[in-house]
Amino acid sequence: MNAIITASELAAETAGPRPPVLLDIRWQLSMAKATGAAAFDGRAAYEAGHLPGAVFVDLDAELAGSPGSGGRHPLPDVAEFGRVMRRAGVSARTPVVVYDGGQGWAAARAWWLLRWTGHEDVRVLDGGLAAWTGELSTEIPTPDEGDFRPEPGALKLLDADGAAELARTGVLLDARAGERYRGEVEPIDRVGGHIPGALSAPTTENVGPDGRLLPVDDLVARFKELGAFDAEVGVYCGSGVSGAHEVLALAVAGIPAALYAGSWSQWSSDESRPVATGADPQ
């Protein structure tokens, strides 16, 4: 099953006999506390114009639990996630397409959660809203209730101990910016650095200037250089959002990967966990 869909393919499918459920997951990592800037309002952006028929889903409120020991964006309560998806019109056998403002991280979070909980037909709009050339709508849809019942376990999930083990025995990729991996800056979490043994692999390098994923051959070459074809692979990031985007890129390249959902926000909050800094994985 493909993990991404182009804007032209989506336009054809929405006009066809089996249109997908569309979910708008516009979101940006909030730097308000660090910079004093106003937080991004995804719902307001959605109400100003969205793909016709798309339903807005709030990442912070509906695709994550409350911040705490599980990190800044812990996984949501599975039953509540199921209710959110059903209210959005998601059914078990209905195709779903998720999109965001173009970065791909938020859409990938929704893609990962749906795939992890057993939905088999979920794709991310490659390039997000910016790639869409059709008309936008301000009409707020009221879809019929779906029948999707989440059953976790379809994708691999790591906890902190599992991530530490994989860093020793396989390939653990850190999807954050290189300067955060090296510990040069840390604007959000308690301390900078990385899980000892993890490799720096910023997910921003999986996309081109247009915000779309690199061609498959380029992704394959990148992940081959990182050793991802020769071992079990896991990914983490700051709080499990951009890491989902790297899992998506790996899937497009044909590599199954586990996600450490708690990621650095959980790891670094535990002072007993070791922290590595600098460019050296160890």
The residues assigned a catalytic role are 237
Q: What single letter denotes the amino acid at residue 97? A: V
Q: What single letter denotes the amino acid at residue 92? A: A
CA dist 5 and 98 (Å) reads 10
CA dist 126 and 211 (Å) reads 8
Q: Are strands 199-200 and 171-174 parallel, antiparallel or unpaired?
A: parallel
H, E, C per residue of 93-139: CCCEEEECCCCCHHHHHHHHHHHHCCCCCEEEECCHHHHCCCCCECC
Identify which of 255, 199, 200 has the alpha carbon closest to the alpha carbon of residue 231.
Answer: 255
